Every structure is written in C-alpha cells, then in structure tokens.
Amino acid sequence: MRSKRTLASLLGAVLLATVGSGAGPISARAVDCAPNDTICQQLVADQGSQAADANQLTNIQNEITDVVKQINDLVAFINRLNVEVTAAQALVDQTQAQVNALDGKIRVTEADITRRTAQLDVRQGLFDQRVRSIDQHGTINYLALALSSTSFNQLIDRLITAQEIIQADHKLIGDLQAQKAQIQQLDDQLASQRVQEAALLVQQQAARDALQQTMGQQQSALAYQQQLEDKYRAEAEALAAQKAQIDAQVAADEAAYAAEAAASGGGTGQFIWPESPHNISQYYGCSSYPFEMYWPACPTRHLHSGIDIAEPYGTPVMAADNGVATLYSSGYGYGNYVLLTHGNGYSTLYGHLASFNVGNGQLVVRGQVIAFEGSTGNSTGPHLHFEVRYNGAYTDPCSYLGC
C-alpha cells in the first residue's frame, strides 16, 4: 500500500537532516582521559554520540511523514538505544569493578602501613631504651676495659661484646631509617591510589549520567512509538472494515457480472501489466508494516494483499483483462479504486487512483485505460495498488504477471 520510491526520498531527507543537525548539550560531565585509559575514552565517545541521539528522535517525529518509514526508523532507533544502554551499563560496571579493585589495594596498603608502623614503634622503643642506657652509662671506654680485664681472653671477650653492641646500635638505627622510608613510600602510594580512585569515581559518575540520559531518550522513543500506534490504530481498523466491505463487494459483483464478464472473454487467468512501465515499490506477501491487514498466517501478522507500482502521477491504468468495472471512492484505505470482475472466479482491484476513465458497470477490454494513477486514501505518494483475487481469495499478482 506504500510507495517505496517515496520512502527512499524521505529516507534521504532524514539522513541529510541528521547529518546537518548540530550536537546538543549533554548532561554527563566532561572527563579528561589519559592516553591509556580506554574506559574513559569510551565514555567520552559515548557522550559524543548522545548528541546525535537527542536530535534523531526529533527528526523522526518532525521530518518523516510516512508512517512506515517513521515506525521502521523508530524501531531501529530504539534498538540502537537498547545497545547503547547495555554498553553504558557495562561501562558503569567496569568502572565499578576498577573502583572495587582499587579499594582492595588501598585496604592492603593501609594494613601494611599499620603493620609496619607497629613494628617501627617496637623498634623505636628499643632504640629509646638504648639511648637512655647510653645517657646513664656513657659510651664504651676501651682503656677501662683493658685495665679492668683480668686476662687477655677476658679483654677479647669484652671487646667483641662492645663491638656487637655498637653494631647492634648501628643496625637498629639503620632499620629504623629503612622502615620509616618504607612507611613514607607506602603513604605516597596510598595517596596516589586515592587520587586514582577519585578520578575513577568522577568517570563512574559521568558514566552513570550518560546512562541516565540514554535511558531517558529510550523512554521518550518508546512513548512516541506508543503514540504512533495509538494514532494509527483507528486507521488500521478502518482499513480492516474496508477490506471486509470489498470482500462483500467482490462476491456481489461476481454474482452480478460473472456471466457477462466471462462472455466477453475474461476470466482465463491471463493478465497483462496494468501500467507500463511498471516499477514495483512493494511486493505481495507478509509485511512488517503494522497497519496492513491482520493476517495470522504471517510471522509478522500482517499481509500486503497486492503489489504497489510506483510511476508518475497521472500514469494511465489499464484493465489487466476483460471484465465489468465497479467504481468506488473513499477518503482512506484504497482511496478511489476500481474493481474489475472477470468471471470464472477472477477479479482485480486498482487502488489510490487520481480519477476514473470508465463508468460504473461498464464492460471493458484488456488494455483499455480505466483510470489514472494517483495518491488517494492511505498513500504517501503516487502509486497503483494492484490485487488479483480468485474465488475471493488474495493471490500474488506476480504469479500471473511474471515479476
């Protein structure tokens, strides 16, 4: 029922509008990224793409007038937002994992500092005792050791002991200095880790802001999709009612004109193209367009009951076979349309016509101009909707025309 040529031109207009539109502001805070910070870089890239997302829904709402293209673009947009939401959530989770890992390192560093500080306090206490001992007894007097020794072996033992005390003093001082340096290094490391954590928390907040913005766009798109469905539900119901009416018309025309049409040589199942040339913009069969008639046999639950031929406005429309014409006019659905009864169970329908070229109940012959292509009823551009029915059932016109 829709003109593919028109859809293509509309798509081109949307693409141009999308490319030409400027990027709007984003709510997430800007983050400066280190060269090797892939998470931060991904976050900035996601933020940059959100400006286009913010404009695309507006483009879909304001610049696309064809409901088929509108819905298809909206579904694609929602699907892309779903992917973006998943990616943004993954980025938040990845950043949280890094924060958790850094928290673990900070706790280990803090525990190490606590342990080393406790050891330092013990050694500092020993050192303080040693200093007090030196204050009380003074430094080692080697001459007094020599004079007070009763034997050479005793002197040697006293000298060795004195040297060991001196070495122990030096080692204690060295250990204290080394431990203080290690603790200072751990303090510096802890400060660096806390700076890293603060930067990660900034990234995480920006990622959460970006996620919330994308989810807001997603909700807006879903709300508009529901609005579209509500808006066109009445149209779908009206089209279904018209289909039922046409089915009854076909049966009535068949009863009234079958014999006359068959006598004219029609109803053989041999048809010619109703337009020349004949550019098919939509084929017969299951359709994703939600406002085609309901058809439970289709996976999409909708059927396009004929073929659409898109040619310039006013192109002559010819009878596909001999038959009797019945003319109808409507402001929706098929718009102005002609039913031709061919006899022997065959009938054809010609929809969205600009005007008629035959009278109601007139006998026409194959190839005779019966009308002119238009865009009446549920149509977004000039095209002819052509149906072939056999015993009231929809059939694929291409089976007869050799598309």
Domain boundaries, the chain: 236-401
The answer to whether residue 223 scores a pLDDT higher than 70 is yes
Confidence of residue 339 (pLDDT cuts 50, 70, 90): very high
Tell which wins on pLDDT, 262 or 218: 262
Burial of 373: CB neighbours in 10 Å, binned 0-12, 13-18, 19+: buried
Q: Which pLDDT belongs to residue 201?
A: 73
- Burial of 6-42, coded b for 16+ CB within 10 Å and e otherwise, reads bbeebeeebeebeeebeeeebebeebebeeebebbeb
Q: Which pLDDT belongs to residue 160?
A: 66
Sign of the C-alpha dihedral computed for residues 398, 6, 64 and 57 taken in this order: positive
Q: Which pLDDT belongs to residue 356?
A: 97
Q: What pLDDT digit, counting tens, does each position of 100-122 carry?
A: 887 787 788 777 778 777 776 77
- The helix-helix angle for 152-263 and 67-137 (nearest 10°) equals 170
Give the span between the Cα atoms of 245 and 239, in whole angstroms.
Answer: 10
pTM of the shown model: 0.50
Confidence of residue 326 (pLDDT cuts 50, 70, 90): very high
Per DSSP, the three-state class of 89 is: helix
The answer to whether residue 66 scores a pLDDT higher than 50 is yes
Q: What pLDDT digit, counting tens, does each position of 256-287 carry?
A: 898 999 999 999 999 999 999 999 999 999 98
Q: Which pLDDT belongs to residue 321?
A: 97
Q: What pLDDT digit, counting tens, does each position of 138-179 carry?
A: 555 555 555 565 666 665 665 566 566 666 666 666 666 776
Q: Which pLDDT belongs to residue 224?
A: 78
Tell which wins on pLDDT, 187 or 172: 187
Report the pLDDT averaged over residues 357-382.
94
Report the pLDDT averaged over residues 113-137.
66
Report the pLDDT averaged over residues 46-74.
59
Q: At which residue do the structure tokens 């035959």 appear?
A: 358
* Closest to 370 (Cα-Cα) out of 307, 326, 313: 326
The answer to whether residue 11 scores a pLDDT higher than 60 is no
Q: Looking at mean pLDDT, say which of 163-172, 208-217, 299-308 comes out highest.
A: 299-308
DSSP code at position 163:
H
Confidence of residue 209 (pLDDT cuts 50, 70, 90): confident
Can you say how many angstroms the Cα of residue 176 is from the centroid of all Cα atoms in its chain?
61
Q: Which pLDDT belongs to residue 58?
A: 62
Give the span between the Cα atoms of 399 and 388, in whole angstroms.
Answer: 10
Sign of the C-alpha dihedral computed for residues 41, 46, 50 and 56 taken in this order: positive
Q: Which pLDDT belongs to residue 60?
A: 53
Helix or strand holding residue 82 (H, E)? helix 67-137
Return the amino acid letter for 105. Answer: K
Tokens of 396: 């694929």
Q: At which residue do the structure tokens 């330092």 appear?
A: 120
Confidence of residue 3 (pLDDT cuts 50, 70, 90): very low
CATH number of 236-401: 2.70.70.10
Confidence of residue 216 (pLDDT cuts 50, 70, 90): confident
Q: Which pLDDT belongs to residue 12?
A: 33
* Closest to 331 (Cα-Cα) out of 375, 376, 379: 376
Q: Looking at mean pLDDT, say which of 141-145, 201-205, 245-249 comes out highest.
A: 245-249
Q: What is the largest CA-CA distance in the chain?
A: 154
Can you say how many angstroms the Cα of residue 360 is from the centroid of all Cα atoms in its chain?
52
Tell which wins on pLDDT, 153 or 381: 381
The answer to whether residue 23 scores a pLDDT higher than 50 is no
Confidence of residue 238 (pLDDT cuts 50, 70, 90): confident
DSSP code at position 291:
T
Report the pLDDT averaged over residues 8-37.
41
The answer to whether residue 398 scores a pLDDT higher than 80 is yes
Q: List helix spans (H) across 138-151.
A: 142-148
Tell which wins on pLDDT, 349 or 194: 349
